[in-house]
């Protein structure tokens, strides 16, 4: 419990440092401060992200955590605060775009600077993946897009199990 | 604020009921629009008014056909390491053979989405849970990988991820150290679509699998369950499974 408290405190401290940076420094090429990649799109004409940028810098994890539980347990699938939407907007879907292990990835650009490690992407996709069309999923017509995502390893080994009844 | 929220809830429920009632009206004798009523708005939580279930007709399930398995693997990005004992599998084909008569049968076995799931009973962290609409899931954010649920499941439906994964799909987050199993394609169901295995089986014209709301008397699955006899696997355990079988 104490460990957890310490960790949270450390995270908060690190984030408050980052959030307090002057906005202009974020894009400075020569500075030691992180270079955060531009988002692919804007939320609206007046607003860049789903909440004001300063709020998102400080509290993005609260929004994602809340949405996580709502989606997982109650089946609420609004898109505004979903991690998938964060990634869709903030990360490029180009094949050679930086992955989360790189400092040039949107999330990691700042997280590595702040020395806050996250485990979201041990499970979640760290880049946008276009949902293949439903017919591509039946295994009859694989789209090129899907082939790029799924390794071509066969997975039929245990597809059949035989039980004999005496 | 609270009053407003209450009014909104009441209004939403009333509107929802009205919509359901209207959708339930017939457009022509014998033709019902009940499928339309199943689409739930994205901002509305699941309720126990619905119970998702599956009916599998083993007489229509072709021996040697693994379309449901393949489509499940594709849908969720399940890949193996060539180690069948430990590779993840959410659905598998089981061949049954009566030694006396030589009669063989084939059926797909997946998470049975029990009403009283043993995996939920034994989970020490609350990661294994049943959603209000009857879908049994693992919250991998909470799962500590103890695998009690795998021991408790009478259907061997769950898998443990032993190795670090890459390139998971956005709708199917999976990771090392957690347990996983069939989700009834919850991401599809929430959009009003059917699970990938059912879609593949239907696309191939086998039509061995029917998916729907057991609680809705007008749904295809409820009507078939009423009309034909069906069985639960290990019915003696009184788990009231959401997956039922015909022909076994």
Q: Which two tokens stand for residue B147?
A: 């695998």
Question: What's the token pair of residue B119?
Answer: 């995996």
Predicted pLDDT at A135? 39
Identify whether residues B102 and B13 lie together within a single domain: no
Task: Supply the range of the domain harboring residue B118.
Answer: 49-246
**B193 & B80 share domain:** yes
Residue matched to tokens 């049943």: B130
Distance CA B181, CA B186 (A): 12
CB contact under 8 A, B175 and A122: yes
Note whether B11 and B131 are same-domain residues.
Answer: no
Q: Are residues B186 and B126 in the same domain?
A: yes
Quick: pLDDT tens for A87-113: 999 999 999 999 999 999 999 999 999
Is residue B25 located within the same domain as residue B104? no
Residues B234 and B174 in one domain: yes
* B32 and B60 co-located in one domain: no
Residues 6+ apart with CB under 8 A from A162: B94, B95, B97
Residue B44 belongs to some domain of the structure = no
Instruction: Show residues of chain A in contact with B80, CB under 8 Å.
Output: 153-155, 157
In this prediction, residue A130 carries a pLDDT of: 74
Domain residue extents for chain A: 34-140
Q: Which residue among A72, A129, A154 sits closest to B170, beta carbon to beta carbon?
A: A129
Cα–Cα distance measured from residue B234 to residue B240, given in angstroms and rounded to the nearest whole number: 10
Do the chains contact at B203 and A160, CB–CB below 8 Å?
no
Same domain for B75 and B99, yes or no, is yes
Claim to verify: residue B113 and residue B216 sit in the same structural domain = yes
In this model, does residue B71 exceed pLDDT 90? yes
User: Does residue B43 lie in a domain region?
Assistant: no
Same domain as B138, residue B24: no
Residues B74 and B185 in one domain: yes
B171 shares its domain with B132: yes
B42 domain residue, yes or no = no
Q: How many domains does chain B have?
A: 2
Is position B119 within any domain?
yes
pLDDT of residue A162: 72
- Stretch A131-149: mean pLDDT, rounded? 40
Q: Considering only B11-20, B42-51, B57-66, B97-106, which range has the smallest mean pLDDT?
A: B11-20
Q: Return d(Cα B108, Cα B121) in angstroms, integer.
A: 25
- Contact: A76, B44; criterion CB under 8 Å: yes
Q: What is the pLDDT of residue A20?
A: 46
């Amino acid at each position: 419990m104490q460990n957890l408290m310490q960790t949270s405190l450390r995270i908060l401290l690190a984030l408050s440092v980052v959030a307090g940076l002057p906005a202009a420094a974020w894009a400075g090429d020569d500075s030691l401060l992180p270079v955060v990649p531009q988002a692919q799109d804007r939320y609206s004409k007046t607003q860049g992200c789903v909440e004001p940028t300063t709020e998102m810098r400080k509290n993005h994890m609260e929004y994602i955590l809340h949405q996580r539980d709502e989606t997982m347990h109650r089946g609420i699938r609004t898109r505004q605060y979903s991690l998938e939407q964060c990634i869709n907007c903030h990360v490029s879907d180009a094949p050679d775009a930086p992955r989360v292990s790189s400092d040039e990835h949107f999330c990691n650009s700042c997280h590595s600077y702040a020395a806050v490690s996250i485990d979201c992407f041990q499970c979640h996709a760290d880049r946008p993946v276009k949902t293949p069309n439903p017919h591509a999923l039946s295994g009859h017509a694989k789209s090129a897009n899907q082939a790029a995502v799924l390794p071509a390893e066969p997975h039929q080994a245990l597809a059949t199990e035989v039980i004999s009844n005496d | 604020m609270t009053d407003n929220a209450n009014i909104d809830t009441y209004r939403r429920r009333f509107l929802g009921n009205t919509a359901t009632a209207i959708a339930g009206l017939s457009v022509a004798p014998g033709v019902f629009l009940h499928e339309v009523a199943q689409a739930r708005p994205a901002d509305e939580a699941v309720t126990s008014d619905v119970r998702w279930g599956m009916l599998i007709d083993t007489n229509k399930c072709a021996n040697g056909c693994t379309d449901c398995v393949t489509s499940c693997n594709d849908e969720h990005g399940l890949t193996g390491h060539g180690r069948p004992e430990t590779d993840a599998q959410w659905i598998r084909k089981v061949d049954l053979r009566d030694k006396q008569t030589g009669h063989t049968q084939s059926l797909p076995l997946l998470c049975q989405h029990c009403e009283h799931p043993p995996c939920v009973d034994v989970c020490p962290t609350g990661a294994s849970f049943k959603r209000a609409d009857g879908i049994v899931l693992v919250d991998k954010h909470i799962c500590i990988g103890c695998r009690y649920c795998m021991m408790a499941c009478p259907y061997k439906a769950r898998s443990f991820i032993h190795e670090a994964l890459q390139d998971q799909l956005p709708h199917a987050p999976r990771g090392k150290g957690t347990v996983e199993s069939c989700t009834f394609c919850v991401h599809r169901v929430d959009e009003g679509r059917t699970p990938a295995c059912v879609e593949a089986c239907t696309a191939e014209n086998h039509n061995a699998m029917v998916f729907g709301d057991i609680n809705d008397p007008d749904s295809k699955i409820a009507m078939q369950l009423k009309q034909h006899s069906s069985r639960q696997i290990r019915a003696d355990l009184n788990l009231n499974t959401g997956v039922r079988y015909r022909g076994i």
